[in-house]
C-alpha cells in the first residue's frame, strides 16, 4: 500500500504540521447580555443557558476585562429592556443599560476590546417583533428603518465600534449607514446579520430576554429566512454589501455550514458566523447528562464553523474556549 494517510498522524508534531484549521481566541466574539438589575451583585443567571449570565452595566466591565485578559478581543452586547412598549423606545434611550455598558467598557478598556452592539428592537417591544407593527399587525419595514437609525445613532454616541443590525428588515444596512454618515460617524462599522434564518435555535435566547412574540404573526417568517434557502442567502449577502455592510453574517452556524461555505467563497468580505443559543444549550444539556464532553464538543463545533469559512465566530463558549485554548 503506497497511500497511507496515517503516516501523517503518528505524532503530535506531524499532526500540527499538517493541521489545516486552527482555532484561536482571536477568532472569537463573546456575547454579553446587559440589563439594569436591582440585585447589587450585578449578575443574574439564565436558566435556559447554563453558564451564561446577565450583567449590570457596572459589573459587565469586569467580566469583559477578564475575558480580554484571556485573549478574547471582541464582544457583542445585547440590551435587556427594563420596560417595553409598542415601538421599543428603550432601544434608543441614551441612558439604557446597553448604551451605558458600551461607554463603561470603552472608557475602561479602550481599544484593547472591540465592542459590537446588537441593533434590534425585539428585546424592547411589547409584542416581541423586530420592528414596529402597522394597523393590520404586520411588521412595517420602512417605519422600522427610521427606528433603527435612531438606535444606531444612540449606540454610536455611546462609543460602539460596530453595530450589528439583526432585524432582517429590507434596506436596514443602507438606512443605518446613511444615519451614521449623516452624523459624520464613518468610523462606526456595520456587521449585517445578512443570512439570518427563522430558526428554532433561538429558543433559549428568547427565554433569556423575555421575548414573547404576540403581536400579529407569532413567528418571524415574514422577515427571517426559510431554513431551506441556501441560494437566497447569497442574495441577502450581496444586497447588504451593496448597502454598505463591512462584515456579513450567517446565523445560526452549525446547521448552516453549507451556507457559510458558499458565502465565504462567493464574496471577499469577512464572514461572521453566529453559534446561537440553541446550539450552545444543546451541547450544555447533553454534557450535563454526561453524554458528551462539553469542552471538546465546544472546540469541535467552533472549529467546524471556522473550517466552513467563517473568519470570526460569535459563541457563548468564548470563555470556555479561551480556557481550553490557553
Instruction: Give catalytic residues, as residue numbers.
Output: 196, 251
The residue whose Cβ lies closest to ligand PBG is 205
Q: Which is nearer to ligand PBG, 114 or 223 (CB)?
A: 223
Q: CB of 181: closest distance to ligand PBG in angstroms?
A: 24
First to last CA, the chain: 39
Q: Is 202 near ligand PBG (CB under 6 A)?
A: yes
- State the nearest-atom distance from the C-beta of 257 to ligand PBG, in Å: 17
> Smallest distance, Å, CB 30 to ligand PBG?
12
Nearest distance, CB of residue 49 and ligand PBG, angstroms: 8
Report the C-alpha gap between 296 and 175 in whole angstroms: 42
Chain positions 213 to 272 lying near ligand PBG, rule: CB under 6 A, are: 220
Dist CA 166 CA 202 (whole Å)? 13
Stretch of 88-96, 114-122, 172-180, 230-238 contacting ligand PBG, by CB under 6 A: 114-122
Q: Based on CB atoms, which residue is closest to ligand PBG, 103 or 117?
A: 117
Asked if 130 interacts with ligand PBG (CB under 6 A), we say yes
What's the closest the beta carbon of residue 215 comes to ligand PBG, in angstroms? 14
Residue of the chain from 33, 114, 148, 205 that contacts ligand PBG (CB under 6 A): 205
Q: Cα dihedral sign for 201, 251, 78, 93?
A: negative
Where on the phi/psi map is residue 321: left (φ > 0), alpha (ψ -120 to 50), or beta?
alpha
Does residue 117 belong to the site contacting ligand PBG (CB under 6 A)?
no
Q: Note whether 144 binds ligand PBG by CB under 6 A.
A: no
If binding is defined by CB under 6 A, does position 206 make contact with ligand PBG? yes
Neighbours of 288 (CB within 10 A): 11
Q: Is 52 in the site for ligand PBG (CB under 6 A)?
A: no
Pick 158 or 265: Cβ nearer ligand PBG: 158
Choose the binding region for ligand PBG from 9-17, 115-123, 281-289, 294-302 (rule: CB under 6 A).
115-123
191 binds ligand PBG (CB under 6 A): no
205 within 8 A of 276, measured Cβ to Cβ: yes
Report the relative pairing of strands 53-55 and 43-45 from DSSP bridges: antiparallel
- CB neighbour list of residue 277: distance below 8 Å, 6 or more residues apart: 48, 49, 201, 202, 203, 204, 205, 208, 316
Q: Where are the alpha helices (DSSP H) in 40-198?
A: 57-69, 97-109, 141-158, 172-182
**Residue 262 burial (CB count, 10 A):** 20
Q: Is residue 197 close enough to count as binding ligand PBG by CB under 6 A? A: no
Between residue 277 and residue 306, which ones bind ligand PBG under the rule CB under 6 A? Answer: 277
Give the Cα separation of 227 and 254 in Å (integer).
12
Instruction: Write the Ramachandran bin of 184: left for phi over 0, alpha for psi from -120 to 50, otherwise beta.
Output: left
What residues line the site for ligand PBG (CB under 6 A)?
A: 118, 120, 122, 130, 166, 202, 205-206, 220, 276-277
Amino acid at each position: 500500500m503506497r497511500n497511507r494517510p496515517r503516516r501523517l498522524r503518528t505524532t503530535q508534531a506531524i499532526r500540527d504540521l499538517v493541521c489545516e484549521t486552527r482555532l484561536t481566541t482571536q477568532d472569537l466574539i463573546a456575547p454579553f447580555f446587559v440589563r439594569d438589575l436591582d440585585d447589587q451583585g450585578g449578575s443574574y443567571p439564565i436558566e435556559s443557558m447554563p453558564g451564561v449570565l446577565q450583567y449590570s452595566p457596572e459589573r459587565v466591565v469586569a467580566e469583559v476585562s477578564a475575558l480580554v485578559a484571556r485573549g478574547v478581543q471582541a464582544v457583542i452586547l445585547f440590551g435587556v429592556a427594563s420596560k417595553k412598549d409598542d415601538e421599543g423606545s428603550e432601544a434608543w434611550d441614551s441612558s439604557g443599560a446597553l448604551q451605558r455598558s458600551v461607554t463603561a467598557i470603552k472608557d475602561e478598556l479602550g481599544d484593547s476590546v472591540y465592542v459590537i452592539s446588537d441593533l434590534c428592537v425585539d428585546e424592547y417591544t411589547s409584542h416581541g417583533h423586530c420592528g414596529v407593527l402597522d394597523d393590520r399587525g404586520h411588521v412595517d419595514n420602512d417605519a422600522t428603518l427610521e427606528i433603527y437609525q435612531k438606535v444606531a445613532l444612540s449606540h454610536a454616541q455611546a462609543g460602539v465600534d460596530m453595530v450589528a443590525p439583526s432585524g432582517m428588515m429590507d434596506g436596514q444596512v443602507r438606512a443605518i449607514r446613511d444615519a451614521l454618515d449623516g452624523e459624520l460617524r464613518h468610523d462606526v462599522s456595520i456587521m449585517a446579520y445578512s443570512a439570518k434564518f427563522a430558526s428554532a435555535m433561538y429558543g433559549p435566547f428568547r427565554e433569556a430576554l423575555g421575548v414573547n412574540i404576540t403581536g400579529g404573526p407569532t413567528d418571524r417568517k415574514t422577515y427571517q429566512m426559510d431554513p431551506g434557502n441556501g441560494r437566497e442567502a447569497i442574495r441577502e449577502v450581496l444586497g447588504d454589501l451593496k448597502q454598505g455592510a463591512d462584515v456579513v453574517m450567517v446565523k445560526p452556524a452549525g446547521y448552516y455550514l453549507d451556507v457559510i461555505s458558499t458565502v465565504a467563497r462567493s464574496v471577499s468580505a469577512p464572514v461572521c458566523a453566529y453559534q446561537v443559543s440553541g446550539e450552545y444549550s444543546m451541547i450544555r444539556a447533553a454534557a450535563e447528562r454526561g453524554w458528551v464532553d462539553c469542552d471538546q464538543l465546544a472546540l469541535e463545533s467552533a472549529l467546524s464553523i471556522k473550517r466552513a469559512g467563517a473568519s470570526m465566530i460569535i459563541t457563548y463558549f468564548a470563555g470556555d474556549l479561551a480556557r481550553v485554548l490557553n
